[in-house]
Structure formats: structure tokens, C-alpha cells
């Protein structure tokens, strides 16, 4: 009998295929498929009580797991193996909400709508596959599949420099993917595992010699880190975001960046704990560099979309710091931060797109006093900015607070570095709100109007998540801490 994970993959595949073939009805098919996807994820969470624990040999057991033979060689077996724990299930939930919000926000897309909505569904399919795959080859196939729809989204619907941005995005992330694959294959061969399954790799990989773990971890860290993105391999991100259409930016920041963080936890930290421990100083250095660089460069931006892009580097640096801490609290904080950033960055990129549609510019210095003319848009601008800077009762606050607690536990007063940079983050968002929302009207054309209903509805989905999980973060934490990885010492 087909399990719910395979059924969900089939749902997403059928949604993409039918959307491509549906012509002017594509958006309705995409919406229906996205709602079914969200319902299936909701059923998983409703039935997700506790993970099964550690099985024979201390191997983690995953919920809804399925294994079917795929490719059998004399010396190696490759299987279709899928499963979820609390970490992957939270990111699957993020995928479902962002896909739905993107479909709703893009409802009035008029340029090749069937192609656009089909690519949105394909992106959701690829991301879901990455989060549930527990076989190296299956994981890599889904990982690479995500690049294709995003390449076309940027290259066809993007801005004036869209072809350059799309090619740069593809080259950077594809080269990193090859390094990641080589490292994963080397892990399988050096460990002597009989298959590429996560369960087969788990015990042998964790007992590899420390020097071997360090080398393999470095390869994975580069491969996952470019998509994370880490400084100095981040330069593809601002170009991709600025040139991408709004929906593409939402999926890129909300989901694709999370693939790097998830992969680092699942395939590097969990399988190579000694390598992670020995390289912790390097991870701290890269994390602090990303936090500082992202915040300071964001502070210097005048383009609203570029500001949000650089702030993403800052926030993902905090995620890396929480992972590097290597404690149960740190892993919990990292996953919570990834979910929070996916929601808030998605909302901010929608806001940036709507500001550009309405006023013809994203230049913060060219705008002012838009609140009386566009109160709904101004409300979403303020909500997104306040959530991103970590206002209590919004989703980023519990995530960032947990990350700071984890950092304090392990590094003591070094926690001052991310804490001070959060102040810088607050500074550039407050400066942006003061310029754009208040003061005398500036840069407002006579034709300016408030948000269309579909754009407001797309933003409302993410705004609602930011408020609900800001007030009740325990709903997410309860699922995250049920994961075997949360016990990593």
C-alpha cells in the first residue's frame, strides 16, 4: 500500500503536469493541488505523535517511512526510501504554506500562466522530495530538480538582467551540488555501507576516523553552504533576488535557502558528528562573518528588495551559528529560525513586489508617506519589518531568542556579536519604515491604489503564520524536539 509521503509526491507531480496542460485554468488547478498538499501535510502533523526512537544498532527511525528496491548492483543497492521526523516535517509544512501563498499572490499572472503555475508546483515537488528523501541518490535527484523551475522563473519572468542572474544562480548552485554529491558518495564508500540509505550509512559513518570525517564534512559544508548561502559564496543571491519575479523570490528565499540548512543538519551533522565538532571553530567564523556582513551591507541598501536579500544572509548566518553550537537547543533553534525566516522573508518579498507594482520603484529614498493612500500595503510592510527585526509576539522573536540562548550556553559572551547585529537589523528596518510609510507624501503617482485582493490574500497567509506561531511557538517546537537529531550531543 502506498504511504502518505508517496501519495503526496504523486499529488505534487500530478498538480504540476495538469497545471502545464490546463491553459487558462492553470491557476485553479494549481490552487486545488496546493490545498490538497496542505491538507495532506496537516494529516501528517495531526497523526504525528512521537518519533519511533532508535532502532537496532542505534539507528534513528522515521515516521511514515517507505522503502522500495530501485537499483540493485552486485555490490550496492539503491532504494526509494522516504520518511520524516520533526525537523523535516516542519520544513514540509513551510513548503505547503509557501506554495499556496505564492499561487494566491500570483493569481493575476498573465505571462504564460500555465507555465508559471506549473513551475511553482514543480518547485514545491522538488523541495518536498529533498525534505523526505532518505537515500543519497534520491536526495540528489530532488536537490537538482529544484534548480530547473527556479532557473526558468528567473530567466523568463525576471528583470532586465534576468539571464545573467539565472545563469549565475544555476552555475553557483550546480557546482556546489557536484561537490556535495562527491562527498556523499565518498561517505558511502568509505563507510562500507551496502546501500545509499540513511539507515545503512548512520552507524558506519559515525564511526569513521576523525580525519576522514573532517574532510568529508568540509566537502558537504561547501556543497550545502553555497545554497545556504555562506559568505563568501553568497554573491549569486542578491542578483537572483533582485532580478527574480516576486513569486520566484518568495520560493527562493523561503524554501531553496532552507535546503542548505536542512542538508547540513541531516547529512553532515547527523552522520559526521566528530567532523562537525572538530570544525566548529570554522563554522563559528563563517557564521559570525555572514551575520556581520549581511547586516552591515543591508544597512547600506536603498533598494527594498536588495535590502531584504542581504538581511537573508544575516538571518541564515544565525541559523548556521545555531547549528554549529551542536546542542539539542541549537538544532531546535536552527529549525525554528528556518521556518520563521521562510515565512517572514516570503512576506517581505511580496511587499517589495507590491511596492514596485504600485509606485514604480523600490528605492526607499524615493518614497514617503504612503500609508494614507495604501493602508493595507503599509500594514503589511510594517508587519513584515517588525517580524524580521524580532518584535515579541511575532514569529522571529522566539526563534532568535532560542538561538541566542543556545549560543550563550556554548560560547558565553560571544553571544554579544549576533545580539548587537540584531540591533543593526532593527535599525535598517526602522529606517525603511520611517522613510516609506510616514512623513510627507513622496513618489506617489496619481494612479496608485491599495493592494489587489489576491495579493493581500497571499500576504495574509504568511502574516497569519507570523502572528500565530509568534504567540504559540510551542506548536512548532513540540514537533521539532520529537526528532532523533535533537538528542545529538
- HEC assignment per residue over 119-148: HHHHHHHHHHHHHHECEHHHHHHHHHHCHH
Give backbone dihedrals phi and psi of 101, rounded to 5 degrees, phi first. Answer: -65, -40
**Could you tell me which residues come within 8 angstroms of residue 59 by beta carbon, excluding any fewer than 6 positions away?**
199, 202, 203
**Is the per-residue pLDDT at 486 higher than 60?**
no
* pLDDT computed for residue 439 by the predictor: 80
- Out of 136-150, 192-206, 389-403, least confident range: 192-206
Shortest CA distance to 436 belongs to which of 394, 487, 374, 481?
Answer: 374
Q: How confident is the model at residue 235 (pLDDT cuts 50, 70, 90)?
A: confident
> ∠ CA 415-91-286 to the nearest 5 degrees?
35
Q: How confident is the model at residue 55 (pLDDT cuts 50, 70, 90)?
A: low
As a whole number of angstroms, the distance between CA 195 and CA 75 comes to 9
**Is the per-residue pLDDT at 120 higher than 70?**
yes
**Could you tell me which residues come within 8 angstroms of residue 413 by beta carbon, excluding any fewer than 6 positions away?**
none
* pLDDT computed for residue 488 by the predictor: 45
Q: What torsion do the CA atoms of 131, 142, 32, 248 make, to the nearest 10 degrees?
A: 100
Indicate the pTM of the whole model. 0.95
**Is the per-residue pLDDT at 487 higher than 60?**
no
* pLDDT computed for residue 90 by the predictor: 95
Chain segment 160-175, per-residue pLDDT in tens: 899 999 999 999 999 9
> ∠ CA 398-400-401 to the nearest 5 degrees?
60
How much is the mean pLDDT over the chain? 91
- Decide if 344 contacts 396 (C-beta within 8 A): yes
* pLDDT computed for residue 287 by the predictor: 94
As a whole number of angstroms, the distance between CA 142 and CA 64 comes to 19
**Could you tell me which residues come within 8 angstroms of residue 201 by beta carbon, excluding any fewer than 6 positions away?**
136, 187, 188, 191, 193, 271
* pLDDT computed for residue 453 by the predictor: 94
* pLDDT computed for residue 171 by the predictor: 92
**Is the per-residue pLDDT at 52 higher than 60?**
no
- Decide if 201 contacts 174 (C-beta within 8 A): no
User: What percent of the chain clears pLDDT 90, i.e. is strictly above it?
Assistant: 68
Chain segment 445-460, per-residue pLDDT in tens: 888 889 999 999 999 9
- Decide if 39 contacts 91 (C-beta within 8 A): no
Chain segment 252-310, per-residue pLDDT in tens: 999 999 999 999 999 999 999 999 999 999 999 999 999 999 988 988 888 999 999 99
Shortest CA distance to 63 belongs to which of 483, 487, 485, 486?
Answer: 483
As a whole number of angstroms, the distance between CA 243 and CA 393 comes to 33
**Is the per-residue pLDDT at 224 higher than 50?**
yes
Start-to-end CA span in the chain (Å): 37
* pLDDT computed for residue 50 by the predictor: 54
Chain segment 314-371, per-residue pLDDT in tens: 999 999 999 999 888 999 999 999 999 999 999 999 999 999 999 989 999 899 899 9
* pLDDT computed for residue 475 by the predictor: 92
CA 240 to mean position of chain CA atoms: 15
* pLDDT computed for residue 246 by the predictor: 94
The partner residues of 368 in beta bridges, in order of sequence, read: 442
> ∠ CA 265-268-274 to the nearest 5 degrees?
110
**Is the per-residue pLDDT at 228 higher than 90?**
no
Where do the structural domains in the chain lie, given as residue ranges? Answer: 291-489
**Is the per-residue pLDDT at 489 higher than 50?**
no
CB atoms within 10 A of CB 413: 8
* pLDDT computed for residue 379 by the predictor: 95
* pLDDT computed for residue 285 by the predictor: 95
Chain segment 4-41, per-residue pLDDT in tens: 999 999 999 999 999 999 988 999 999 999 999 999 99
Amino acid at each position: 500500500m502506498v504511504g502518505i509521503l508517496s501519495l503526496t509526491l504523486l499529488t505534487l507531480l500530478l498538480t504540476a503536469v495538469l497545471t502545464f496542460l490546463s491553459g487558462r485554468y492553470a491557476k485553479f488547478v494549481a490552487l486545488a493541488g496546493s490545498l490538497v498538499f496542505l491538507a495532506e501535510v496537516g494529516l501528517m502533523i495531526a497523526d504525528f505523535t512521537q518519533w519511533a526512537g532508535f532502532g537496532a544498532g542505534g539507528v534513528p527511525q522515521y515516521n511514515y517511512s517507505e522503502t522500495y528496491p530501485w537499483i540493485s548492483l552486485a555490490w550496492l543497492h539503491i532504494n526509494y526510501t522516504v520518511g520524516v521526523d520533526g525537523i523535516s516535517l516542519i520544513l514540509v509544512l513551510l513548503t505547503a504554506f509557501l506554495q499556496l501563498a505564492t499561487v494566491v499572490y500570483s493569481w493575476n499572472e498573465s505571462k504564460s500562466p500555465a507555465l508559471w503555475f506549473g513551475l511553482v508546483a514543480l518547485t514545491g515537488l522538488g523541495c518536498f522530495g529533498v525534505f523526505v528523501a532518505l537515500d543519497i541518490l534520491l536526495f540528489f535527484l530532488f536537490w537538482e530538480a529544484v534548480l530547473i523551475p527556479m532557473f526558468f522563473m528567473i530567466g523568463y519572468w525576471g528583470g532586465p538582467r534576468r539571464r545573467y542572474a539565472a545563469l549565475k544562480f544555476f552555475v553557483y548552485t550546480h557546482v556546489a551540488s557536484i561537490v556535495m554529491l562527491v562527498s556523499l558518495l565518498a561517505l558511502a564508500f568509505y563507510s562500507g555501507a551496502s546501500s545509499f540509505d540513511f539507515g545503512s550509512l548512520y552507524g558506519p559513518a559515525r564511526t569513521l576516523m576523525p580525519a576522514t570525517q573532517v574532510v568529508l564534512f568540509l566537502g558537504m559544508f561547501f556543497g550545502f553552504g553555497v545554497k545556504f548561502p555562506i559568505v563568501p559564496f553568497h554573491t549569486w543571491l542578491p542578483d537572483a533576488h533582485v532580478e527574480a519575479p516576486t513569486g520566484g523570490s518568495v520560493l527562493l528565499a523561503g524554501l531553496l535557502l532552507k535546503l542548505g540548512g536542512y542538508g547540513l543538519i541531516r547529512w553532515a551533522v547527523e552522520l559526521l558528528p566528530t567532523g562537525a565538532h572538530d570544525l566548529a571553530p570554522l563554522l563559528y567564523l563563517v557564521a559570525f562573518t555572514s551575520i556581520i556582513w549581511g547586516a552591515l551591507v543591508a544597512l547600506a541598501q536603498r533598494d527594498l528588495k536588495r535590502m531584504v536579500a542581504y538581511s537573508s544572509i544575516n538571518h541564515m548566518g544565525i541559523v548556521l551559528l545555531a547549528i554549529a553550537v551542536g546542542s539539542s537547543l541549537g538544532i531546535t533553534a536552527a529549525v525554528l529560525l528556518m521556518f520563521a525566516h521562510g515565512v517572514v522573508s516570503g512576506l517581505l518579498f511580496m511587499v517589495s513586489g507590491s511596492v514596485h507594482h504600485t509606485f514604480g520603484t523600490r528605492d526607499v529614498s524615493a518614497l514617503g508617506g504612503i500609508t494614507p493612500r495604501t493602508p493595507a500595503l503599509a500594514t503589511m510592510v510594517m508587519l513584515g519589518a517588525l517580524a524580521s527585526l524580532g518584535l515579541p509576539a511575532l514569529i522571529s522573536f522566539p526563534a532568535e531568542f532560542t538561538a541566542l540562548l543556545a549560543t550563550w550556553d556554548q560560547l558565553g559572551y560571544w553571544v554579544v556579536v549576533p545580539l548587537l547585529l540584531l540591533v543593526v537589523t532593527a535599525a535598517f528596518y526602522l529606517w525603511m519604515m520611517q522613510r516609506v510609510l510616514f512623513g510627507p507624501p513622496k513618489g506617489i503617482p496619481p494612479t496608485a491604489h491599495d493592494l489587489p485582493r489576491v495579493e493581500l490574500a497571499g500576504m495574509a497567509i504568511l502574516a497569519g503564520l507570523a502572528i500565530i506561531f509568534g504567540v504559540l511557538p510551542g506548536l512548532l517546537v513540540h514537533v521539532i524536539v520529537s526528532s532523533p537529531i535533537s538528542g545529538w550531543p
